[in-house]
Structure 1
Amino acid sequence: MLEKQAIHAIVKYPTDTRDTRLYEGPLRDWLRGLGLLKILYGPDPDHVQIAWGMLKKWFNHQILPNRGPGESGVMESPWLAEDYEDKQRHWSRSWYDRYRAARSRTQRLRKIRSEHIALFQPAMTELACLIGPFDRQQQLRTQYGIAQATLETGELWQAAEAAPEASSSRSSPKGWVLDAGGIPLAMEWAPLAGHAEQFLAVATIPFSDQDPKDADSIEPDPEEFKKGTLQVWSLPLHREEGIQAHLVQALSFDWGRPKRLQWCPVPLPDDSKLGLLAVLCGDGQVRILEVSKPLSAATSYDWVVSPAATLGITNEYAVHTTSFTWVNINRICLGHSDGSITLWSIHPLQLITRRPVHTSHIVDIASGFPSHPYHIATTPVGGCPTLTDLNLPSAETTFTLEPNSVNFQPNLLDWNDHLQGYVGLHPSPLPHNTVIGFTHVRHFVQSHMLMTTSSMPMCLATGRSHPFTLVGCADGSLWAFNPLRVLLKDRYDEVHKLKVLQHDFRPASAIKAQQQIRGAARILQGFRLEYNSNLSIDLVVARNKKAIPSNSKRPKPKITKRKKPVGHKDDGGIAPGDSGVLRVDEELLLIREAEKTKAVVHEPLTRVTVVAWNPNVEYGWWGAAAMGSGLIKVMDLGLHEWGVGDDA
């Protein structure tokens, strides 16, 4: 018999990494195609069939979705029950009636007098802009509150309509360039039903907040940082004629600068309201606002005396809210500076639960609404991205296996209900990480690489009615790609990405600044597709090519020829009789130069600060990108049904 001490002895920790791996599940890095689809969405045959249907619908669309709800267009999430929408309307109506009947704390607004409006407006400085394709750039000047209509190519719509050849073929605007007058930190479309006027909420801060300060600079007044303003823009997507977008409402308050905002994903049953808008303010609290629909085209300036609700921890020292996400119409989850998350009820106002998840600031948080609303993914400043199920408070959390992961940038985590997973920054211990990854809600421990950017990513957004993703970077570039194709591609399937636009900004000189000119900006459009590859992997492949002599004689194995798909390009192998040394050296040099761009410091106001897809299925192919210069580019990114092919 074995000794008792030998049975209960603690096994020595092995030094071999193969014995200390933390994941032993069925998901492997080399899986692809149908095998990966069955593991992610199986074993239920119905779920596999749903995923296979989405694969057939969108796989051949490399970059962007089709317009409309057609065969290859946008659609609602297929993972919801057929009566889901009816139940949501019933629950929202029941809750809203109770909320209005209680009236224990109602929101109060006060109109700002016309003579005092200038005190709440940003500085009325002009911005010189160049927009359109690189060979047809057009110049314009803009300032706070101005919107310019554009065509698909980025050219000015009014200039095209005024041209003599445009009299016979009139077209409606396919986008706008808005001037927010400040640095946009947050932006989101209002969730509305039907073919109706669309609204875009924007949270901005003054440019002076991020101006470089010298040691001899005068300290700004602390009272100045208590002022905050939200903007609501009207976008007439439902009108074919050329009606201009315009600023319809500006909400001001004294709770600090607005840092983030999110609309409640469930529309209110009251037709006079746009919805519930949650705002994270500079004092570390989240306010809930009821935003009304505009009654006229004139801009309304209002002062918020008291919000509909205030959420946050106030009885602990140095614990403030750093991020938040909606769970449903009456639930909202907050991330805090101490690494904990809290679940709140709006009416009745109360704290439901609090979970310690991380040990540092939570910079990003996202719920799996609508199919997994209580699955909360969080990203801390330092540590592993974690998934918490609030339905099981006593259960353990799961996390992505990347020790010492570092992330300083918010707006880089988003849930996609069609893919049933989170798109965000791929976990890495390097602060200059440029890899976008995907983690499935059932296999959160493994992140799949989707795309690499040429510069530091600043923000991303996935569609609510499709899986396509937009990524904004520090160099002012905006990229689009299809995560579904990257995830489920086979060996010979090519994947691409598209630079939708390139934004550049140069600040004005001291003399120009005295003339109320804040600088010059340029927006370029009309770029070609690029191959979506990982630069670090390409570097290893190129090195391996160089290490293998081209004239080395090795036995050729007998293999059966496999027919490659149409349009497949060669993988860069060395042709017979060609040394290939020069070509491989050039490839290595290009890859190394591309790697250097990740750490380049760009003009701060050049960056793309926030991007957003329209959540409404009627206009799900419309997107918006906000730049540090104060410009917001609203674009119709949908493709024509007849113009989409395998290389679209």
Structure 2
Amino acid sequence: MPSKALAKKHGTKVHAMGIDRMHVRGVEEWGKEGGREVRAKFLFGPSMKDLKPVLLTRDKWEAQDTMPSKREWGLGPSFYIAREAMGREVKMMREWYWGTGKSGFENGQVCRELGQEEGEKYLVNDGDKEVNVLLGAYTHPLLYSIKKGSFMGVAEPFVDKRGRRGWTFNLGARVHEAQWVPDEEGMVQYLAVAVQQKKAAGKYTKPLQNPKAPAFTKTKGFPTSIQIWTFESTEERDLDPDMQPRLVAVICTDWGMPRQFRWCPVAAADTVEPKEGDDEIHLGLLAGVWSDGKMRILDIRIPQPDSAFPQTRYIHFSKAAFEIQPPDTISTCIHWLSGTSIALGTTAGTLAIWTLTRPDTFPPSPKDSTSESNSPNKAPQYTPRPWFHKQAADTYILTISSGYPSRPHFISLTSADGFSRLFDLRSPVYDTISTTRARIFGLTQAWHEHTQSFLTPDENYLIRSNSIRRYYMNIHSMRMEAQILCCATSPVQPAVLMGAADGMCAATNPIPRFLNYKEVPWQQVWFWHEWRRRVEELPEVETQERDKTIQTPPNTTISKSTTTPPPTNKVPQAVLNKPLSRITEGYKVAQVGLQNTKPVRQHTDSGKFLTIFEEKTAVTCLAWNPNLKFGTWAVAGMADGLCRVEDLGI
């Protein structure tokens, strides 16, 4: 509604500061009459400037049902992004970094390279040395044993290997986070992965037996790491299945478990490959939240590997140039609002924003901090003050997302009270709105550039789209069979990946459903992951389970993995005595109804029954490659330590 003038004495009119006289905070409900045109005007805007990107997006991507296409029209930047504005942001970020930012990080952070024996201690986790996995065709699965830290091609279990480009990793423990490095021009793509790591054995309490809530309590520092893997591409920018991935670097820290990390969306150069005369690969700025309660930003540089004798480099960081310890609380989540601005959420419900180009970002006396850098524990901690600080929620902030790159001033967050809230940084007091209260925590959130909406899950296993113009209204576009734990969107194509507690990982395109409410969405399962514990530990074991036949590949040789004994008529006892994972794929594209069509016949049928799945079955993290030429590459991490990297372009 328009703002009203406040009348003072003598007839002086004073308007609210920071907003125009005709400031509008919302739009009316659309009427019962009208079709897709009326719907588009209310969702995106009434002017031609608002509707032109919508029509271009519809014409280009409406025919894409699920997975992204590698055709000429398949990938491309969003039509909502102004090319001139992005060019100015990239220029500003690079001028700041090569002007003052690079020296600020070099003077503030302390890092050194470790030897192999010392560095491998930071990769230790409590996972088994190897894991048994059923892969291949659904009717004739093959049993493989993959060692911890090794991998195998996704096409290996299939007779027809055409069109299968990817790798299956065994990282040993629950995959917490996986993020691609922004690198538009490089032929090699870099992936950062973090898995669950713990202290020495016996120092952790069992689940549900911790006297302190771990989400609200910071931990003491212990050795953890972030792994950097490289993947080769072909001339057509496809994932090369003939070139094996390599663990080129390990980022070692003693700050506890990295709960979340994000790469700066704007790279400091067109490619991370070193320039002439430089022997280091500059991956970019990495912001993360560690379990010690602090948020840090690291400038990641790794030595260029020797092509003749490649080896893993271990880089240990003991001090960060940009380190934030929120007062009387701990950090929970982060999100880059631009190439130089970052937002932080806390357990107390506060939201803070820093811009790295401000003069108080780094300590005022670089020389003094450099002299004391050899003893970071004794040096006084410098904490830059945020330019924005607000009590955004009443309790724990779970996720933060923004409308970057087209709408960076809009910030959406989910909290433990069940509400999702939207803020406009141009007027954070007046322009704020919340959704209806959900019965579950919104554990994941993503900005979908092509529909100008924020995606969050609800208690009915649906993904709801909250448009920035109608944030209070839910538009459901996807459905899963269990609780949704993670989702991923891409800035260069509209496909959305979803991961659930039952191990299903599916993809869909929400554009047709968003523009036409009567449209039944298409959905395709990328893969379905299942995990079972030892047969002896199962609550009920059917006798038929021991009589099932599992075919094993005869004399199969896999890099860094072992094969099972020759096939037998029954499952070997050694397999039954160990946990087993299974990945099935090859599902057809299908239309998924968003409503339960089963009739309610008894009073007990009206209740909501929940299925509890094995914890290690869940898909825990997803990410699309943000680079335009590699926009069809995706990564999925699972709770049992398996990680799948694949080129999904069709």
TM value normalised by structure 1: 0.76
C-alpha distance in 2 between matches for 1:24 and 1:190: 39
Cα deviation per residue 1:599-623 (whole Å; 9 max; x = unaligned)?
1111100000011111111011111
Q: Shift of the alpha carbon at 1:300? A: 1.6
Q: Pairwise mapping of residues 137-286 of structure 1 onto structure 2 (< 5 A)?
A: 137-151=141-155, 155-156=156-157, 174-206=165-197, 212=206, 226-238=222-234, 240=240, 242-269=242-269, 271=273, 272-286=281-295
Relative to structure 1, the CA distance from residue 354 to residue 48 in structure 2 (aligned partners, 3 Å threshold; closer, same or farther) is same
Alignment of 1:381-460 (within 5 A): 381-400=416-435, 402-403=436-437, 405-410=438-443, 412-426=444-458, 432-460=459-487
Q: Give the equivalent residue in structure 1 for 2:7.
A: none
SS of alignment partner, residue 528 of structure 1 = coil
Q: Is the 8 A contact 1:173 1:242 kept in 2?
A: no
- Which stretch shows the higher mean deviation, 622-631 or 481-490? 481-490
Deviation per residue, 1:178-210 (Å, 9 max, x gap): 222221111111111125211111121138899
Structure 1 distance, partners of 2:30, 2:311, is 56
Counterpart-to-counterpart distance in 2, 1:182 and 1:419: 36
2:296 to 265, 273, 287: 287
Instruction: Evaluate the alpha carbon distance shift between residue 203 and residue 103 of structure 1 in structure 2; reply closer, same or farther with a 3 A threshold.
Output: closer
Q: How far has the Cα of 1:380 moved from its partner?
A: 0.5
Identity %: 24
TM-score w.r.t. the length of structure 2 is: 0.76
* In structure 2, distance between residues paired with 1:122 and 1:592: 48
CA distance in 2, matches of 1:274, 1:104: 15
Secondary structure at the counterpart of residue 535 of structure 1: coil
Distance in 1 of aligned mates of 2:104 and 2:313: 28
Per mean C-alpha deviation after superposition, the further-off stretch among 102-111 and 121-130 is: 102-111
TM-superposed CA distance for 1:489, in Å, is: 2.7
Name the aligned partner's letter for residue 616 of structure 2.
L
Deviates more, 1:280-289 or 1:523-532: 523-532
Q: How does 1:38-187 map to 2 (within 5 A)?
A: 38-68=41-71, 70-71=72-73, 73-96=74-97, 97-102=99-104, 105-123=107-125, 125-151=129-155, 155-156=156-157, 174-187=165-178
> How far does residue 44 in structure 1 lie from its aligned partner after superposition?
1.7
The match for 2:387 is 352
Structure 2 equivalent of residue 7 of structure 1: none
Supply the distance in 2 between the matched residues of 1:176 and 1:383 (Cα, whole angstroms): 37
SS where residue 613 of structure 2 aligns? coil
State whether structure 2 residue 333 is matched by structure 1 residue 333: no
The CA deviation at 1:149 is 1.9
SS in 1 for 2:123: coil
CA distance in 1, matches of 2:208, 2:456: 35
In the alignment, what sits opposite 1:499? 525
- 453-462 vs 207-216, which moves further: 207-216
CA-to-aligned-CA distance 1:532-576 (integer Å, 9 cap, x gap): 21234x34xx56xxxxxxxxxxxxxxxxxxxxxxxxxxxxxxxxx
- Give 1:14-33 correspondences, 5 Å limit: 25-27=28-30, 33=36
Task: Give the Cα–Cα distance (whole angstroms) in 2 for the partners of residues 196 and 370 of structure 1.
Answer: 25
Q: CA deviation at 1:224?
A: 7.8
The 3 A distance-change label for structure 1 pair 634 and 57 is: same
Q: Cα distance, 1:24 vs. partner?
A: 6.8
Distance 1:459 1:592, change over 3 A: farther
Q: Is the Cα contact below 8 Å between 1:311 and 1:344 reproduced in 2? A: no
Q: CA deviation at 1:66?
A: 0.6
Question: Deviations 1:429-472 (Å, cap 9, x if unpaired)?
Answer: xxx44121001112212121112211111111112212211110
Distance in 1, Cα, partners of 2:641 & 2:411: 32
Q: Which amino acid aligns with 1:129?
A: V
Deviates more, 1:118-127 or 1:437-446: 118-127
The 3-state SS of whatever aligns with 2:256 is: coil
CA distance in 1, matches of 2:335, 2:453: 16
Distance in structure 2 (CA, Å) of the matches to 1:521 and 1:309: 41
Change (3 A) 1:120 1:534: same
Local SS of the residue matching 2:187:
coil
Shift of 1:136: 4.1
2:257–2:291 CA contact under 8 A, matched in 1: yes
Distance change (3 Å), C-alpha of 1:216 and 1:59 = closer
User: Are positions 1:300 and 2:313 aligned together?
Assistant: yes
Q: How far apart are residue 104 of structure 1 and its match?
A: 7.2
SS at match of 1:95: helix
CA separation of 1:67 and 1:413: change in aligned 2, threshold 3 A: same
Say which SS state the counterpart of residue 466 (structure 2) adopts: strand
Instruction: Name the counterpart of 1:479.
Output: 506
Report the 3-state secondary structure (helix = DSSP H, G, I; strand = E; otherwise coil) of the residue aligned with 1:40.
helix
CA separation of 1:241/1:256 partners in 2, compared to 1, >3 Å: closer, same or farther? closer
State the shift of 1:28 in Å. Answer: 6.7
3-state SS of the aligned residue for 1:93? Answer: helix
Structure with the higher helix share, 1 or 2 = 1
What is the rounded CA distance, in whole Å, between the counterparts of 1:264 and 1:369 in structure 2? 12
Note if contact 1:434-1:455 (Cα within 8 Å) is conserved in structure 2. Answer: yes
Could you say what secondary structure the match of 1:454 adopts? coil
Q: Deviations over 1:376-416 (max 9, x none)?
A: 1000111421011122244341111x14x343352x20012
- Give the whole-Å Cα distance in 2 for the aligned partners of 1:139 and 1:31: 57
Correspondence for 1:528 among 588, 594, 605:
588
Separation in 1 of the partners of 2:524 and 2:33? 26
Deviations 1:329-372 (A, max 9, x none): 22100111111100013354231110111101010110111111
2:325 is matched with 312
SS in 1 for 2:37: helix
Q: Distance in 2 between matches of 1:28 and 1:383?
A: 29
For residues 274-321 of structure 1, the C-alpha deviation after alignment (integer angstroms, 9 at most, x for no partner) is 1111111001111112222552242222221212311231xx32x111
Asked if the contact 2:620–2:639 (Cα under 8 Å) also holds between the matched residues in 1, the reply is yes
Shift of 1:480: 1.0
- SS of the residue corresponding to residue 602 of structure 1 reads coil
Rounded to whole Å, the distance in 1 between the matches of 2:145 and 2:108 is 42
Q: CA deviation at 1:173?
A: 5.7
- Alpha carbons 1:380, 1:407 under 8 Å: kept: no
Alignment of structure 1 residues 631-642 onto 2, 5 Å: 631-639=642-650
- One-letter identity of the residue aligned with 2:318: V
Output the amino acid matched with 2:58: L
**1:245 CA displacement:** 1.1
Corresponding residue for residue 574 of structure 1:
none
CA distance in 1, matches of 2:68, 2:35: 23
2:611 match: 600
Instruction: Give the aligned length.
Output: 539
In structure 1, what is the equivalent of residue 39 of structure 2? 36
Please state whether the residue corresponding to 1:486 is helix, strand or coil.
Answer: helix
SS at match of 2:579: strand
CA distance in 2, matches of 1:592, 1:452: 20
Q: Which amino acid aligns with 1:523?
A: I
Equivalent residues of 2:266, 2:339 under 8 A apart: yes
Partner Cα separation in structure 2 for residue 243 and residue 177 of structure 1: 14
Q: Secondary structure in 2 aligned to 1:392?
A: coil
Q: How far apart are residue 139 of structure 1 and its match?
A: 2.6
